[in-house]
């Protein structure tokens, strides 16, 4: 029942179906109402697979496309009446079938809302937000606490300098070029401009809310980092000659803080859109963020405590942005559902 609440009714006001590539039992269709609706995606796949002529059906809620594969020996049974061609008859038959499934889904959700949601509409979103907030904060608070404790222990036992001198032994000309490339990917100015471009780019007009919060996340992380650097005023390490130009203050690391916010938020959005790839997405995101932090140590422009503190501060800001994204999505959805059941 709660999954149906995630369904956006506005996108089903106009249904658009088109099909291409009806060759040898393969059909590709587009359903506008499928965008951002995982519940409709699962419903379409399960209903299509119940049909005898269909051997496989895959829907994509990110692109709105549906791929249908027919049984070779049964595809001829789907031909409509009259003298229409195999291509036209198959297109018409499957398009009507998909349209009927979407309309059935809409009716079922409307009935469920009419009988069950009307009394709980105000309470359920609040409880859902609170439950999700608590479940997200538990591992995050653990990670932040671990980073803060690590920073404190490193500083208390004066381990910053020995660690940098140990890393210096890894220097080679080839590794220098690699680390310079990696550290460029975490440059706060580059990432800030990229996030702002995404926020205003027409290419992301259908994801304006996510792009806007990404821009806010980048600006907020950069400003917070500058403020903290001025507040602490810690000097950068000068154990050897730097091969890259840097500013005066080092605590916390701007590369570490801004990269965990920008790349972390981007990885979160991608994992939501492609849940089957979420482990790869999260793994690559963490590896990139860790590589950026290590590059700052390798280049000798940050102490290890600068990097761990940057990760901790950035992680807190990242979670705040992710939670705000959830609240921004639920508020208009709740308003729409309230209007539907009134």
- pLDDT tens profile 134-152: 565 677 778 888 888 888 8
Query: Contact at 8 Å (CB) between 143 and 316?
Result: no
Structure tokens at 271: 């994992």
Confidence class for position 244, pLDDT limits 50, 70, 90: confident
Least confident of 78-92, 157-171, 302-316, 318-332: 78-92
**Predicted confidence (pLDDT) per residue in 22-35, tens digit:** 444 677 777 776 76
Mean pLDDT across the chain, nearest whole number? 75
pTM given for the model: 0.60
Task: Single out the residue of 179, 193, 183, 307 nearest to residue 252, CA to CA.
Answer: 307
Q: What is the mean pLDDT of residues 85-112?
A: 71
Select, from the ranges 99-103, 108-112, 287-291, the one with the highest average predicted confidence (pLDDT).
Answer: 287-291
Could you tell me the domains of the chain?
A: 2-120 (3.30.1360), 123-341 (1.20.144)
**More confident site: 214 or 337:** 214
Q: What is the mean pLDDT of residues 314-330?
A: 79
Mean pLDDT calculated for residue range 171-184: 93
Query: Stretch 88-110: mean pLDDT, rounded?
Result: 74
Average pLDDT over residues 239-258: 88
pLDDT at 201 over 70: no
Residue 70, pLDDT score: 61
* Confidence at residue 299, expressed as pLDDT on a 0 to 100 scale: 93
Q: Minimal CA–CA distance to 240: which of 295, 313, 298, 324? A: 298
Query: Could you give phi then psi for residue 30, rounded to 5 degrees?
Result: -125, 130
First to last CA, the chain: 19
Mean pLDDT of 223-246: 89
């Amino acid at each position: 029942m709660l999954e149906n609440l995630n369904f956006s009714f506005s996108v089903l006001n106009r249904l658009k179906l088109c099909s291409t590539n009806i060759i040898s039992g393969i059909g590709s269709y587009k359903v506008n109402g499928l965008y951002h609706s995982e519940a409709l995606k699962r419903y379409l796949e399960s209903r299509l697979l119940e049909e005898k002529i269909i051997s496989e059906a895959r829907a994509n809620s990110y692109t709105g496309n549906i791929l249908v594969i027919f049984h070779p020996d049964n595809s001829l049974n789907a031909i409509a009446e009259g003298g229409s061609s195999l291509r036209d008859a198959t297109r018409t038959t499957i398009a009507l079938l998909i349209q009927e499934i979407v309309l059935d889904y809409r009716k079922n959700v409307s009935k469920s809302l009419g009988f069950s949601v009307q009394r709980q509409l105000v309470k359920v979103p609040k409880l859902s937000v609170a439950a999700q907030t608590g479940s997200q904060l538990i591992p995050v608070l653990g990670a932040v606490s671990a980073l803060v404790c690590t920073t404190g222990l490193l500083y208390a036992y004066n381990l910053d300098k020995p660690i940098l001198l140990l890393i210096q032994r890894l220097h080679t000309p080839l590794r220098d070029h690699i680390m310079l490339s990696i550290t460029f990917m975490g440059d706060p100015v580059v990432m800030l401009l990229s996030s702002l471009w995404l926020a205003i780019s027409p290419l992301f007009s259908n994801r304006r809310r996510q792009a806007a919060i990404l821009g806010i996340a980048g600006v907020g992380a950069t400003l917070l980092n500058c403020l903290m650097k001025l507040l602490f005023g810690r000097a950068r390490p000068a154990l050897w000659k730097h091969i890259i130009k840097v500013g005066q203050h080092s605590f916390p690391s701007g590369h570490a803080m801004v990269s965990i916010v920008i790349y972390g938020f981007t990885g979160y959005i991608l994992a939501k859109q492609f849940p089957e790839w979420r482990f790869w997405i999260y793994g690559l995101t963490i590896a990139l963020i860790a590589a950026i932090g290590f590059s700052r140590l390798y280049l000798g422009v940050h102490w290890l405590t600068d990097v761990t503190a940057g990760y901790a501060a950035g992680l807190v800001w990242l979670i705040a942005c992710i939670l705000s994204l959830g609240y921004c999505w639920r508020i208009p959805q709740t308003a729409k559902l309230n209007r539907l059941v009134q």
